[in-house]
Amino acid sequence: MHRSAAVTSDSRWQPGHGLLVCDHADVTVLLSLQRSRYHLLDNIAGRIWRQACAGATLTEIAAGLAKDFNVPVSQAMDDVAEIVSGLSSNGLVQPLGRGPRTKDPARFFAVASSWPASQARSTCARTRVLPSVIACIGRLLAVRLAVAVLGVPWLLSQLYRVEQPENPSPGNRTWLRGVARQVTLASTVVPFRAECLEQSLCLLWIGRNAGISTQLRLGVRPFPFLAHAWIDYKDISVNDPEEFVMTFYRFRPIAEMVC
């Protein structure tokens, strides 16, 4: 459980580690990659989060709210302190100057850190032979294990770690869609429910190892809440109909955070 940092009137804050933000009307949606958890903030909480992340003190934030909503500063201060405390306990803000806490993968790292790179020159990718369903099952299992043990941020850092030259083959999109079908078939036989994120991470891995600049995209529909993950190639989805993913409000590309 995340422990809330001390909240004082003059404390300054910065965004928590590994956050993605998406705005929809009066709602701010935050995704913690570290915890794989979504948070919906209303207009006031979203305003407080943004001002705190910009370095404003609680006193400064409360003064602005008191003026805009015509309430006593003391009341605004109590509300701001309570909200910031909740943001801190959920890892959405951290004290200014505190570095992100990193997880030391210890014994697992020596084995796991090389598994995406070990496939980077695979014969299947170079010759554009679709991976078998059995191969996709193995990758889904590896993705599941890596996410469970080391977390999504670590896995993404490995998949995006090396920039490979783009393979300009005109058949890239068709090949990726074929791979997506194989991953979907594999997801029906693995001994767990492979969600859209795990399937997309598997497709991201295969695509990037083949020298294709695949990109993981995440989006939400706030009301009713629904989150989804998919893979883009040249800004067009390859594992979902484009008209479907267009119904989601998108977070900024994951690559901007991990590269």
Q: Is 172 part of a structural domain of the chain?
A: yes
- pLDDT score recorded for residue 233: 94
Q: CB under 8 Å, gap of 24 or more: what pairs does 122-131 form?
A: 122/209, 122/210, 125/206, 125/209, 125/210, 125/211, 126/210, 128/169, 128/171, 128/175, 128/210, 130/175, 130/178, 130/179, 130/182, 131/179, 131/182, 131/206
Do 74 and 171 reside in the same domain of the chain? no
Do 48 and 157 reside in the same domain of the chain? no
- pLDDT score recorded for residue 164: 58
Q: Is 197 part of a structural domain of the chain?
A: yes
**Cα–Cα distance, 48 to 156 (Å, whole number):** 29
The predicted-structure confidence for 182-220, as pLDDT tens digits, reads as follows 999 999 999 999 999 999 999 999 999 888 989 999 999
- pLDDT score recorded for residue 162: 58
Do 137 and 229 reside in the same domain of the chain? yes
Domain encompassing residue 80: 13-95
Place of tokens 């003064």: 63
- pLDDT score recorded for residue 245: 95
**Residue 7: partners with Cβ closer than 8 Å, 6 or more residues away:** 58, 81, 84, 85, 88
Place of tokens 């705005």: 23
Do 63 and 122 reside in the same domain of the chain? no
- pLDDT score recorded for residue 19: 87
Residue at which a domain ends, from 71, 95, 119: 95
- pLDDT score recorded for residue 118: 44
Q: Is 136 part of a structural domain of the chain?
A: yes
How many CB atoms within 10 Å of residue 189? 12
- pLDDT score recorded for residue 256: 54
- pLDDT score recorded for residue 6: 78
**Cα–Cα distance, 37 to 161 (Å, whole number):** 24
- pLDDT score recorded for residue 255: 62
Q: In the chain, which residues have pLDDT < 50?
A: 1, 100-125, 258-259
Do 234 and 161 reside in the same domain of the chain? yes
Q: Is 120 part of a structural domain of the chain?
A: yes
Q: Any idea how long the chain is? A: 259
